[in-house]
Amino acid sequence: MFKSKMILGLAAIGMSAIIAVGGTYAWFTSTPTLTSNNFTTGTLTAKLTGSGGATTLDLSAANKLVPGEVMGTPTSITIENTGSANLAWFGKLVFSGNDALKDHIYIDSMKMEFLDPDGVSTWLSEDEFIKDGVGYTGNGAGQGEADWFNSLKDNASGKITLRNFMGNQGVNALGYENQGSLKPGFKYRITFKLGLTGNTDDTLQNQPANLSYKVISTQINSDALENLISGGSIHFQWFSTNISTQK
């Protein structure tokens, strides 16, 4: 057990922007060019923002955690469609640093909110699917969803570690953990806390770890989805149904 606090180096979470649009950073901007569908106009822009509208997310609450401790202030990621066309997106956490830390940093809580353009009202009830480091059935999550996340628990700590969360292929073989679809102006907000397992030993003290969140997006048709991610087309109907609930 540590005698001093552990420095994880999680001062910020972010991702290099692919394209700058209008002074803000966009994860994906495209004028669709596929000809094997009836999508001919509009632009796609999925903008990622953090707390206070910044493009980086503050994770200073996770800095200097001791084993068994959880960051006090949650971190939020907002994914917004700032373009003029419907889009589908896939998102995932990206880790760099001492690889062994992925077995000890865990997801203590995580939920997803579905926001209207005003950023307050919602088009679906929130889905809180991880709580206290394990799968959770309250606030929109069902037993099947909880069972899936509980299958990612680490045997040693009993928590959903970063390694297991980031290594799962629940969405697709490329390891994207989240997905969604958005009409222009609509948003997703993912909020989470990280913890440090109680069995973390002194060899990992003061080791750096950095997280980012990567989003890729495309238009909603089978060809575009398959072109973006092999096997992505199997989600076409789900994306389309999801869009129909945004009014």
User: Is residue 240 a part of any domain in this protein?
Assistant: yes
Two tokens at 201? 């030993």
Residue reference for tokens 């910044």? 54
Chain centroid to CA 123: 19
Q: How distant, in Å, are the alpha carbons of 115, 147, 154 from that of 118? A: 8, 34, 39
Radius of gyration of the chain (CA): 18
* Domain containing residue 101: 12-244
User: Is residue 213 a part of any domain in this protein?
Assistant: yes
Instruction: List the beta bridge partners of residue 175.
Output: none
User: Is residue 3 a part of any domain in this protein?
Assistant: no
User: Is residue 106 a part of any domain in this protein?
Assistant: yes
pTM for this predicted structure: 0.78
Q: Are 59 and 191 in contact (CB under 8 A)?
A: no
Residue 11: per-residue pLDDT: 32
The total domain count for the chain is 1
Q: Are 215 and 151 in contact (CB under 8 A)?
A: no
pLDDT confidence bin for 55, thresholds 50/70/90: very low
Distance CA 18, CA 124 (A): 29
Percent of the chain past pLDDT 90, that is, above it, reads 28
User: Is residue 1 a part of any domain in this protein?
Assistant: no
pLDDT digits (tens, 9 = 90+) for 78-133: 888 888 888 888 888 878 788 998 999 999 999 999 999 998 999 999 999 999 99
User: Is residue 224 a part of any domain in this protein?
Assistant: yes
Instruction: Convert 101-117 to b/e letters by CB count within 10 Å (16 or more is b).
Output: bbbbbbbbbbbbbbbee
